[in-house]
Structure 1
Amino acid sequence: MLIHDEIPVETLESFLAERQWLQPEEKIEKLSKAGEGNMNVVVKINTNQRSFILKQSREYVQKYQDIPAPIERIAVEQAFYIAVSNKELQAHFPRILGYDKDAHLLYMEDLGDCKDMTFLYHQRNVDQRQLNTLVEVLYKIHSSKAPKDFPDNMEMRQLNHQHIFVFPFMENNGFSLDTIQKGLQDLAAPYKRHSKLKGIIAGLGNRYLSKGNTLLHGDYYPGSWMSKNEEIYVLDPEFGFLGFPEFDLGVMSAHLIMATHDATFVDSLSKTYPGKHDKRLMAQIAGVEITRRIIGLAQLPLERSLKEKESLLAMAEKLMMSK
């Protein structure tokens, strides 16, 4: 059954009761969207006793429904949550209350009045305590022992590979950046023609598709971080896989740089992160992520002038070309 916020209440109650996901005498009072999901359908259920979340994958990207996506990604998310279900990390992830493999559906704890941390792009600075927590959580994710049969998530990685390492750097990809911001198409042109840079990016893309031995979140950026008072939560690990830690570290660095225009975040995160890693590889991934977020399809709520984007792209090029 397809879950959405306009499904008849009686139909949903029957569906949930069959799975023993409703308590005796529990009745649904309200259905609502739980945020603006990019990849999946996410619905908040309010009952006469509590609230909870249903998250369901489709055979396409929820935000861009003309883009196919593997429906099995919800199984990867479930496997990830199991892998990080230890005492040190439990406080930073929602509890999984149930999973229906056939319906591609997760039944999850409602974290309440949280907000994602995309406000950092507007705020242009990062609270040091929150940053320390995010680095600590990432290190503990990377230190978690995933089972040997953890899904390789190759279909999702191939989809992501196209949008990170390929599509943004194609000269004629059919996407006019001037529809995002006038002048952005011309600003992007040199990066789409930079053969040496594109060679580095292709190599990084191949590395991304290779098998590693570190559990990755796969999309560790402010849209996956949630804050509530002093608490930090991490969501949406459907891009998770066993890879190299520099990927998560580079993506995290990139978004902190875009938020603050401070390129030293690669150095500072490298010093703060206690695990073994290659700072050059981390910097190169950061450069790719900055570039693809400015000249690719996956745009951010990043209100910056062309001059500021030009500066960010120059930082990104320097990071990608670092030796």
Structure 2
Amino acid sequence: MTKLTRDKNYLETYLKSQGWLEENETIKSTEVPGEGNMNFTLRLDTGERTFIVKQSRDFVEKYPQVAAPAERALREAEFYELTSEKPGLKAMMPNILGLDKENNVMVMDDLGAGSDYTHVYKKGQTIPEDELIEIMDFAADLHNGFSAKTASKVIHNLKMRELNHEHMFVYPYLDDNGLNLDDILPGLAEIGKMYKADDELKAELEKMGKLYLADGDKLLHGDYFLGSWLKTKDGVRIIDPEFCFFGPAEFEIGVTIAHLKMADQSEELITKALDHYSAKAKLDEELRKKFTATEILRRILGLAQLPLEIGLEKRKSLLEESRNILTGN
């Protein structure tokens, strides 16, 4: 398999072989567009235009020791192709300019020098209400727009779900998973021990994990959080749907709300976001809360850490609330 690098000559040769670069075009510069974890991703500038090249490999780019399905870029491409049937959704995502299925490479148009919303994890930062409403609108339109019963294509993406399942429902609760939580925040390891030893909680998480792995009816982005939302000069845009699948809408919205809570957004803002979504699309609020709880637990206790600035007591409170939601205590 061709393994892309940042070497400009190598990239030019590869792109021309695919017909994605004109014979007289050269690459003036390259840069990494954001803080993505999963893939080799570059913004290329030819002096005339910029575009994005993404390659998925058989490991996670940020954590090379973690194996991952190499073909995940192809699942992302399927999501873009399917949602292009809905102009409102298509307008909020990049267009595919080329796809090399043999080497799991996708070329997309560049949405510009925008930034994702991960800065909202910082203390005192708030996501503007009108932008959050746009984000919830996209999710409602996506979930309403495609049913597994009628869609022109059903995306299962089971290998990516199995990877996510491991890190969401299993890895954080292993006694010796190799992650020292005190390196993240002193005192967190001692708190984590209680959750690793909580058999009642783990039994509930096993049930939630089976729900996640089961096929469902709604088309989901699959990783709908602050890092997958871009603020650009043209408005909010949505990227990185490589975890997409047909499943329960409660998983998608559960994850979204979990990140708003970990970013310490106000309960008023979170309620407005939920109410706005629920006015447009059906939602089982009890199931949504349980998926929110599983995401909070995995992010605070697991490998996929976030740039959180909430302190130990706030994290402890979120963990306890999440445990109570799942166990009914």
The answer to whether 1:15 aligns with 2:21 is no
Q: 2:274, 2:11 → 1: CA distance?
A: 47
- Which residue number in structure 2 is paired with residue 131 of structure 1? 132
* Partner Cα separation in structure 2 for residue 58 and residue 83 of structure 1: 23
Secondary structure at 1:226's aligned position in 2? strand
Partner of residue 290, structure 2: 284
SS at match of 1:233: strand
- SS of residue matched to 2:231: strand
Q: 1:63 to 1:262 in 2, by over 3 A?
A: same
Partner of residue 88, structure 1 = 88
SS at match of 2:63: coil
Letter in 1 for 2:320: A
Distance 1:288 1:298, change over 3 A: same
* Separation of aligned partners in 1, 2:265 and 2:50: 39
- Given that residues 5 and 11 in structure 2 are in contact (C-alpha distance below 8 angstroms), is that contact kept between their aligned partners in structure 1? no
Shift of 1:170: 2.3
Aligned twin of 1:179: 183
Using the alignment, how far apart are the partners of 1:58 and 1:96 within structure 2? 19
| Alpha carbons 2:30, 2:44 under 8 Å: kept | yes
Please name the residue that 1:39 is paired with.
38
2:322 is matched with: 316
Question: Partner letter of residue 141 of structure 1?
Answer: L
Aligned pair partner of 1:300 in 298, 306, 309: 306
Distance 1:90 1:149 in 2: 16
CA contact (8 A) 2:80 2:90 kept: no
Deviation of residue 309 (structure 1)?
A: 1.2
RMSD of the TM alignment (CA)? 1.9
Name which of 198, 203, 217 aligns with 2:207. 203
1:231 partnered with 2:235: yes
- Is the Cα–Cα contact under 8 Å of residues 129 and 269 in structure 2 kept in the other structure? no
Q: Is the 8 A contact 2:93 2:238 kept in 1?
A: yes
Q: State whether residues 183 and 306 of structure 1, in contact with CA within 8 Å, keep that contact through their aligned partners in structure 2.
A: yes
Contact 1:283 1:322 in 2 (8 A): no
Q: Secondary structure at the match of 2:11?
A: helix
- The CA deviation at 1:23 is 3.2
**What is the letter of the counterpart of residue 174 of structure 2?**
M
Q: Answer whether contact 2:225 2:259 (CA < 8 A) is retained.
A: yes
Which whole-Å CA distance do the structure 2 matches of 1:140 and 1:322 have between them? 32
**2: distance between equivalents of 1:232 and 1:149?**
26
Q: Which amino acid aligns with 1:282?
A: R
> How many residues are paired up?
321
Structure 1 portions without partners, runs of 5+: none
In structure 2, the gaps of 5 or more residues are none
Query: In the alignment, which residue of structure 1 is the partner of 2:165?
Result: 161
How far apart, in 1, do the equivalents of 2:153 and 2:160 lie? 17
TM-score by length of 2: 0.92
Q: CA deviation at 1:192?
A: 2.0
How far does residue 17 in structure 1 lie from its aligned partner after superposition? Answer: 1.8
TM-score, normalised relative to structure 1: 0.93
